[in-house]
Amino acid sequence: MTGIMSTPTVHEPARSTPVIGEYDVVVIGGGPAGLMAATAASRHGMSTLLVEMYGFLGGAGTMGGLATFCGMHARVFGTDVQSIHGYADELLDRMRALDGLNEPHLSVADRIQALSYDISALKLAADELVTSGGAEILFHTRAVGVARSADDRIDAVIVESKSGRAAVRGRFFIDGSGDADIAAWAGAPFERSEKLMYPSLMFRINGVDSDEAGEAWRVVREQMEQAEAAGTHTFPRKKPIVRPQRNPLEWRSNLTQLSNADGSPVDGTDVHQLTRGELQGRRQVWDAFEFIRDHTPGFRDSYIVDIAPSVGIRETRRILGGLQLTEEDVLGCADFDDTIGVNGWPVEAHVTGDVAFRFAPVDSRGYNQLPYRMLVPQRVENLLVAGRCASMTQGGQSSGRVTGPCFAMGQAAGTAAAMALGAGLGGADIDVSELQRRLESDGAFLGLELPV
């Protein structure tokens, strides 16, 4: 940090913090995992609050500008099938009703299906889904700490917003922050890779002549490689994704890579690095856009319609839960007795200057099961952790972090929290076969037989 600094700390006087609500379940973070967790907890009869620091739900899917659901499908012995169900089906139905969801398309060198969507439709559908079961939402509110009632129990999360600093009491908490904020503050063990996966800043282009552009996504990569070989351009990352949206006037673009001055990945838990990432990302967006506009058929009159509200963070803290999902589990299509859902996405490693994809064998079942133990932190009884900060190694997380498995983890965490409260147990002690029964009766696919 530069600037004038006299003493390294300031003293803040102790103060009493008002409690602004008491709930059975408090979910922090309204991304794919958190929004499903809040839906599940409320539908299982719990008074539920979802705390989200932005003014809309969807997490990286909205504030990060993704516009594609990955990991909703698996290639099962050569056939593409939807492998994530449950409340996710209802979310997709609501998005379809808003005319904001595409049919699945083939992605990653035609090896796996993905689903593109309109970001506004996800915002609206997520609002509807979460509130439909009675969960309340507190937008524009950031969790900044926890108060504990015992070494192994959280009493309240401390939040800050335009209304000031406050506490929200809960009997059970679900950390869907993506960064394991709550778990870390509550003292649950976590790890952080020595070298994180690189973040990106997404953007969308409008005004594309779709007839002329055709399947231009197949040529952008080659054009960029040729320009680099000719020495006219350098790009921060290979394997760009530039694809049309439901209305092909608009194309989404995923081709930036955010780094520090020494080349290391921007860390999403460091505000100085985040700031640098935003500035660098917007510069990269403009450079990439200019290149695409000037070289790609159909893009001559196009313009940037949106740069995502925030840089997209792929990886920060990951908790050390009852079991870590590994890359070997993903590539070997592993089974677990305590399965709560499945994951059919390949390992997608965002390494320096490139993205490396690694798939389960072509003739395999194409998905691994997700064990409940991924969601169960050590040391904190009334907490579950779902989404990209669940218990996975870096290789496992490079696959399991995408939206589909995060939906599955979120639904399982919310359902499990309701069961734990119903039985007066900690998250680690619930009856997992009963959890599996409830998830299946709510439509989830646990991978116990082949999907249809």
Element (H or E) spanning 397, and its range? helix 394-400
Least gap, CB of 64 to ligand FAD (angstroms): 5
**How many CA atoms within 13 Å lie on the side-chain side of 301?**
6
Burial class (CB in 10 A: 0-12, 13-18, 19+), 294: exposed
H-helix or E-strand spanning residue 161:
strand 153-161
User: What's the closest the beta carbon of residue 51 comes to ligand FAD, in angstroms?
Assistant: 5
Q: Tell me the C-alpha to C-alpha distance, in Å, between residue 225 and each of 69, 186, 258.
A: 27, 47, 19
The candidate with the shortest Cα–Cα distance to 367, out of 321, 400, 406, is 400
Q: Tell me whether residue 356 or residue 434 sits nearer to ligand FAD (CB atom).
A: 356
C-alpha dihedral over 202, 207, 208, 211, to 10 degrees? 150
Please give the backbone phi and psi of residue 25, each rounded to the nearest 5 degrees, phi first. Answer: -125, 130
Q: How far is the CB of 36 from ligand FAD (least distance, A)?
A: 8
> Min. distance of Cβ 358 from ligand FAD in angstroms?
16
Which parts of this chain interact with ligand FAD (CB under 6 A)? 28-34, 51-54, 59-61, 63-64, 66, 68-71, 142-143, 176-179, 181, 199-200, 202, 254, 312-314, 387-388, 401-403, 406
From CA 307, how far away is CA 190, in angstroms rounded? 32
Closer Cβ to ligand FAD, 11 or 42, answer by number: 42
CB closer to ligand FAD, 296 vs 310: 310
CB 300, min distance to ligand FAD, A: 27
Q: Which two tokens stand for residue 127?
A: 């609002």
Instruction: Output the smallest distance, CB 281 to ligand FAD, in A.
Output: 10
Closest CB to ligand FAD among 182 and 420? Answer: 182
**Which residue, chain included where needed, has tokens 């996975």?**
392
Residue 289: phi, psi to the nearest 5?
-60, -45
Distance CA 52, CA 142 (A): 6
Nearest alpha carbon to residue 137 among 63, 61, 22, 26: 26
Least distance (Å) between residue 253 CB and ligand FAD:
11
Q: Which is nearer to ligand FAD, 102 or 200 (CB)?
A: 200
Determine contact, residues 438/430, Cβ cutoff 8 Å: no
- 165 or 437: CB nearest ligand FAD: 165
Q: Alpha-carbon distance 365 to 347, whole Å?
A: 15
Question: Exposed, middle or buried: residue 444 (CB in 10 Å: 0-12, 13-18, 19+)?
Answer: buried
Complex with ligand FAD: residue 61 or 427, whichever CB lies closer: 61
Smallest gap from residue 312 Cβ to ligand FAD (A): 3
**Nearest distance, CB of residue 27 and ligand FAD, angstroms:** 9
Closer of 142 and 238 to ligand FAD (Cβ):
142
Residue with Cβ nearer ligand FAD (28 or 319): 28
Which element (helix H / strand E) includes 170? strand 164-175
